């Protein structure tokens, strides 16, 4: 399975996220290929390193503005897009499943683009929000407010799955494969 991992590219994040992500990705990328934003730092760099260690296929997709980042990466496929928006759609379109881990503005943009695209029936792939150390608690609280105050239907919740463990993630992915 080709999994797009949306996550932090910063190395300055708290160690607890890096430690937890390393455990999570070590299991996730043992038997799955990686599609990512093509940067070798932070959780994104961890995903790259772990996929390499496991001899998995790695597809890096980045916009022209960050094209220089590809020089330091040994990728099976290098894809350069004209814009961030185009990159996000390529990441989504080339994957079989989408997993969001702690990240910054880019990760949030990708998360909401994926949810809206799935809600609009542009694709029907699993979207998983891995809530490492409660990272997404406030985001999920904001989504609940959006549902509760009827800015959008609670049915949108069916577009994604919140996971708190690698075991739950794998169980959900296996269930989605069978459907």
Domain containing 128: what range?
2-172
Model confidence pLDDT, tens digit, residues 33-70: 999 999 999 999 999 999 999 999 999 999 999 989 88
Asked whether residue 43 is assigned to any structural domain, the reply reads: yes
- Around Cβ 127, how many Cβ atoms within 10 Å? 22
Asked whether residue 177 is assigned to any structural domain, the reply reads: no
Predicted local distance difference test score (pLDDT) of residue 156: 96
Query: CB burial class (10 A; 0-12, 13-18, 19+) of residue 21?
Result: buried
Q: How far apart, in whole angstroms, are the C-alpha atoms of residue 153 and residue 155?
A: 5
Phi, psi of 159 (to 5 degrees): -80, -15
Model confidence pLDDT, tens digit, residues 123-152: 999 999 999 999 999 999 999 999 999 999
Asked whether residue 179 is assigned to any structural domain, the reply reads: no
Predicted local distance difference test score (pLDDT) of residue 151: 97
Asked whether residue 178 is assigned to any structural domain, the reply reads: no
Q: pTM above 0.75? A: yes
Q: How many domains does the chain have?
A: 1
Can you give the CATH number for the domain in which 168 is found? 3.40.50.450
Asked whether residue 137 is assigned to any structural domain, the reply reads: yes
């Amino acid at each position: 399975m080709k999994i797009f991992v949306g996550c932090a590219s910063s190395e300055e994040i708290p160690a607890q996220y890096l430690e937890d992500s390393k455990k999570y990705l070590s299991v996730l990328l043992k038997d799955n290929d990686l599609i990512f934003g093509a940067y070798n730092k932070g959780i994104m760099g961890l995903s790259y390193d772990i996929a390499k260690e496991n001899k998995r296929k790695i597809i890096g997709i980045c916009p022209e503005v960050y094209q220089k980042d590809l020089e330091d990466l040994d990728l099976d496929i290098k894809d350069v897009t004209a814009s961030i928006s185009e990159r996000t759609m390529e990441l989504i379109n080339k994957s079989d499943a989408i997993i969001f881990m702690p990240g910054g503005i880019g990760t949030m943009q990708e998360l909401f683009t994926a949810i809206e695209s799935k809600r609009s029936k542009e694709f029907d792939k699993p979207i998983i929000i891995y809530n490492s150390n409660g990272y997404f608690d406030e985001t999920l609280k904001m989504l609940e407010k959006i549902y509760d105050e009827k800015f959008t239907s609670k049915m949108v919740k069916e577009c994604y799955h919140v996971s708190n463990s690698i075991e739950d993630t794998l169980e959900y992915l296996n269930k989605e494969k069978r459907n």
